[in-house]
Structure 1
Amino acid sequence: MKAASAQQESLRREAVKLRHQFAQGSRGIFSGVLPASKVTEVIREECEAWRDRVYSPATTLRLFIGQVLGEDRACQDVLSRFLAERTAEGVAAIGLNTGAYCQARQRLPLEVPDRLYREVARALEEKLPKEWSWRSRRVKVFDGTTVSMPDTPQNQNAFPQNSEQQEGLGFPIARLGAVISLGSGAVIGHTVVACEGKGT
């Protein structure tokens, strides 16, 4: 029972750190829309039981978001900043080998960031002034793009080459689509599908 309560407290502390990370600097908008309690709730619901490790789901999520939004997106940079943070807090140092962090990212269920971005979008929509609506309606736009990815068997299975590509040539291509709030700029919903040519 003590291990479970210690894990709960650790999760709560990491959720608070996640919120504080984005409450600073130009990312202050997150401070009012992503409460630590929501991060904790989503992680508890979406993550299977985890061992008490350096890269807990909350820590991994926080580091990964910082990596995506940071100037230097290298795993090594993320770990350097995390080491500096731990040193400043007087916590045991970590090694700078990126393997454990990368494995922790792979263990993090996709549902965690997916639910959290939707929560942020919902909260931002609720905070929009009424004057930002058009005829009392929230305006939404749709945008899309394509991305190519490494030619691995796993990617080929999920995103097979379309009929316009010669077999064995080219890379798997995914088509991304997003519904975006014109008022807040937040992505409200998204989809990722295999690209099946120009009409998809």
Structure 2
Amino acid sequence: MSKHTQGGVAGPIARARRRMVEEGDLCIGELLPQERVEQAVERHQVRFRERLYTPLVTLWAFLYQVLGSDQSCRSAVARLLARLSCVGDGPQQRCPSAKTDPYCKARQRLPEGLIADLARQSGAELHRQVPAAGLLRGRPIKIADGTTVSMPDTRANQKCYPQPSSQKAGVGFPMLRLVGLICLSCGAVLDMAMGPYAGKQTGETALLRQLLGGLDAGDVLLGDACFANYWTTASLLGRGVDLLSHHDGRRRVDFRTGRRLGPEDHLVQWPKPPRPAWMSRRMYRDLPESLPVRELRVAVDRRGFRTRRLCLVTTLLDASLYSAADLAAAYRARWNAELDLRSIKQVMRMDVLRCKTPQMVRKELWMHLLAYNLVRKLMARSAAGAGIGPRDISFTGSLQTLAAFAAVWQRPAPDRRVNLYAAVLRAVATHRVNDRPDRVEPRAVKRRPRKQTFLNEPRAVAVARLLKAG
């Protein structure tokens, strides 16, 4: 018994729970070892009772809740009860309650830092195991990109993550801004910073400053135009990290100035702007008076593409090592981050969260990222066995395969367990993604959505109006 255990009860349910934990799970046990979870529980000094919903069992149920197609707490409890029935003592075993209250309270007791640490560890481990993408002379490339998610309209959520000012009071939804750090070679989310959608120090550049610890010397960061500024560039260079981003359209580019490297390719100096309010005077004094950066413009000669000319800015100054074509190819790979965020938000349905308090919203976010990284880990292992790259496999197909095999997993013999896991890897490797970099499709859908009237007033007001009219 852990030193943080407060005691518990013995009986058929406790024995079934122990057997379920000891036998592990078909894929999750292979992707997220029990020892790692137990170490995280000890590190965060989680106190719990030896009842049904221990941290390990709660984490298992929470994980499959975000992986499942129905992400309700009821389905999570039902899945857990079905699992207990398979490892129990038979018909004489008393089945635990199907109510969701104990499970919801157990989720509240899980520390947010525990789930966040597991998500970061899984991403970092996968990043170390997968070779670099082969761009920019094999340097490790990470992508920073931002997005937003919404959540239920509760008073607590509105207070912590207010809805945009463009939405009317009572008909909008709280919104949270995210900035993620994504590995280009494998798609793993290495870290995530979050904050309110609006307000001081809530923009993507401010959130990126919270993620600088996840960058190592020698990395190359791909970013959007909002990161092409003096402060972000200076912070990255101070850590030995190079930047490649789209040029901020507000900054004028004149290729007649600076040191010419080629056609529409030159080196210029960015002067240090006045000190911002968030920066200390000492930090401001330590920054250089100017930064050497490289600005270049490349042509996009692909029929059907909206963009014809692309202006880039980078700290990779040596044109003999990094040609304009190499930089353009590397920046084009930044689109993978958009696809990765789409997989998390659309395929895993993280775009609309379910929890009603800010604390649980953040736990739900980290649990989605942990589940996403575990699926990516499964894809990487399958790709290694098939001799292909991790991004050559479909994320949706891998998620469907993982859910299907986990649903039929009951109590196989130890020798069958190895065979079943090998079958999962073979099945995942068959879901290939065709390499069609120049594909052109209209940004439109053929099937029309069903017409539905939108609420333009608070629901309570609308209900009162209907009752009065009736």
Which TM class, normalised by the smaller chain length?
Answer: 0.7 to 0.9
Give the structure 2 partner of residue 74 of structure 1: 72
* 1:44 corresponds to which of 42, 45, 62: 42
Against the structure 1 CA distance between its residues 108 and 3, is the aligned structure 2 distance closer, same or farther, given a 3 Å change threshold?
A: closer
Per mean C-alpha deviation after superposition, the further-off stretch among 157-166 and 119-128 is 157-166
Q: Which amino acid aligns with 2:30?
A: S
Task: Give a deviation string over 1:82-124, Cα, whole Å, max 9, x none.
Answer: 1121111115521111111111112111111110011111110
**Structure 1 unpaired stretches of 5+:** 24-29
Using the TM superposition, give the Cα deviation of residue 81 of structure 1 relative to its aligned residue in structure 2, in angstroms.
Answer: 1.9
Using the TM superposition, give the Cα deviation of residue 58 of structure 1 relative to its aligned residue in structure 2, in angstroms.
Answer: 1.0
SS at match of 1:142: strand
Work out whether residues 15 and 39 of structure 1, in 8 Å CA contact, stay in contact via their aligned partners in 2.
no
Work out whether residues 53 and 103 of structure 2, in 8 Å CA contact, stay in contact via their aligned partners in 1.
yes
Question: Could you state the TM-score of these two structures normalised by the residue count of structure 1?
Answer: 0.78
Work out whether residues 4 and 46 of structure 2, in 8 Å CA contact, stay in contact via their aligned partners in 1.
no
Query: Matches of 2:118 and 2:178 in 1, distance apart?
Result: 19
Give the structure 1 partner of residue 384 of structure 2: none
* 2:102 corresponds to which of 100, 104, 114: 100
Query: Matches of 2:165 and 2:69 in 1, distance apart?
Result: 38
Against the structure 1 CA distance between its residues 54 and 155, is the aligned structure 2 distance closer, same or farther, given a 3 Å change threshold?
A: same
CA-based RMSD: 3.1
Give the structure 1 partner of residue 121 of structure 2: 119
Using the TM superposition, give the Cα deviation of residue 6 of structure 1 relative to its aligned residue in structure 2, in angstroms.
Answer: 8.3
Against the structure 1 CA distance between its residues 76 and 165, is the aligned structure 2 distance closer, same or farther, given a 3 Å change threshold?
A: closer
* 1:22 corresponds to which of 17, 20, 27: 27
Using the TM superposition, give the Cα deviation of residue 75 of structure 1 relative to its aligned residue in structure 2, in angstroms.
Answer: 1.9
Give the structure 1 partner of residue 30 of structure 2: 31
Q: Which amino acid aligns with 2:43?
A: E
- Say whether 1:53 aligns with 2:54: no
Against the structure 1 CA distance between its residues 164 and 50, is the aligned structure 2 distance closer, same or farther, given a 3 Å change threshold?
A: same
* 1:149 corresponds to which of 151, 155, 158: 151
Query: Matches of 1:98 and 1:167 in 2, distance apart?
Result: 31
Work out whether residues 15 and 40 of structure 1, in 8 Å CA contact, stay in contact via their aligned partners in 2.
no
Q: Where does structure 1 differ by over 3 angstroms across 4 or more consecutive aligned residues?
A: 2-7, 10-18, 161-169
Query: Matches of 2:143 and 2:181 in 1, distance apart?
Result: 6
Using the TM superposition, give the Cα deviation of residue 172 of structure 1 relative to its aligned residue in structure 2, in angstroms.
Answer: 1.8
Give the structure 1 partner of residue 139 of structure 2: 137
Greater helix content? 1
Against the structure 1 CA distance between its residues 94 and 55, is the aligned structure 2 distance closer, same or farther, given a 3 Å change threshold?
A: same
Work out whether residues 177 and 196 of structure 2, in 8 Å CA contact, stay in contact via their aligned partners in 1.
yes
SS at match of 1:51: strand
Give the structure 1 partner of residue 263 of structure 2: none
Query: Matches of 2:112 and 2:19 in 1, distance apart?
Result: 22
Work out whether residues 47 and 108 of structure 1, in 8 Å CA contact, stay in contact via their aligned partners in 2.
no
Work out whether residues 143 and 182 of structure 2, in 8 Å CA contact, stay in contact via their aligned partners in 1.
yes
SS at match of 2:27: helix
Work out whether residues 4 and 48 of structure 2, in 8 Å CA contact, stay in contact via their aligned partners in 1.
no
Percent identity over paired residues: 36
Per mean C-alpha deviation after superposition, the further-off stretch among 178-187 and 133-142 is 133-142
Q: Which amino acid aligns with 1:79?
A: V
Question: Could you state the TM-score of these two structures normalised by the residue count of structure 2?
Answer: 0.36
Give the structure 1 partner of residue 250 of structure 2: none
Query: Matches of 1:12 and 1:186 in 2, distance apart?
Result: 32
Query: Matches of 1:21 and 1:174 in 2, distance apart?
Result: 34
Query: Matches of 2:105 and 2:139 in 1, distance apart?
Result: 44
Give the structure 1 partner of residue 196 of structure 2: 194
Give the structure 2 partner of residue 26 of structure 1: none
SS at match of 2:49: coil
Work out whether residues 133 and 139 of structure 1, in 8 Å CA contact, stay in contact via their aligned partners in 2.
no
From the CA coordinates, give the structure whose radius of gyration is larger: 2
SS at match of 2:198: coil
Using the TM superposition, give the Cα deviation of residue 185 of structure 1 relative to its aligned residue in structure 2, in angstroms.
Answer: 0.9
